[in-house]
Amino acid sequence: MMWLRGLTGRGLLLGIAGVALAAAGLALESAPARADDADRIFDKSTVWRPLTPNDKLVVYGIDDPSVAGVACWYTQPEKGGIKGTLGLAEDVSDISLACRQVGPVQFKGKLAQGEVVFSERRSLIFKSMQIVRGCDAKRNTLIYMVYSDKVIQGSPKNSTSAVPLMPWGTEAPQKCGDVLGR
């Protein structure tokens, strides 16, 4: 950074740093949730393994970081055994999804069609799971889709859930089409 200050002058450098910090703050505010943000609700063993952890189906819950009042739950298989214990097993792409309105809906900014709401690694390097959101403005419904992808190819396995925006108490429902970015 010292060489940059010498070339640009201290004021410009501080201005660039301020813009970078502001951009980072905005990115953090609207960044998709991470695996650490998911709440583990419960699990159920599916394959018994002696001396090592069993294979399981695990249910997680997350809140949409950009839409207050909407939560999603997804179930995913987790490998046990030695590879699963060491974090070397590649988890399969069978993930189910259910999203619901759990309170009054409040949008925290503009929405983009296909925006990533949640992302999680599914293998050491090559595979990740994504939950993305879109808006069906005609039906005033948020649509969530979960899928997994690899560096080389995606997975056709996916699941979709719809959240029609409804009145909550005496509050009229907000319109997702009003907050779509163009």
What is the secondary structure of 107-159 as a DSSP string? E-S-B-TTEEEEEEE-SSSSEEEEEEEEEEGGGTEEEEEEEEEESS-EEEEEE
Shared-domain flag, residues 25 and 87: no
pLDDT in tens, 70-80: 999 999 888 77
Do 45 and 97 fall into the same domain? yes
| Statement: residue 52 has pLDDT above 90 | no
Average pLDDT over the chain, rounded to an integer: 78
The verdict on 93 and 175 lying in the same domain is yes
Residue 7: φ, ψ to 5°:
-80, -35
Residue 154 scores a pLDDT above 90:
no
Residue bearing the bigger pLDDT, 147 or 152: 147
Beta-ladder partners of 70: 101
Give 24-29 contacts, CB < 8 A, sequence gap 24+.
Answer: 29/108
Q: Which two tokens stand for residue 113?
A: 């069609």
Residue 16 has pLDDT above 50, yes or no: no
pLDDT band for 34, please (50, 70, 90 cuts).
Answer: low
Domain count, the chain: 2
47, 20: one domain: no
Residues 117, 104, single domain; the answer is yes
Amino acid at 100: R
> Residue 115 has what pLDDT?
96
Q: Which domain holds residue 113?
A: 34-179
Residue 64 reports pLDDT greater than 70: yes
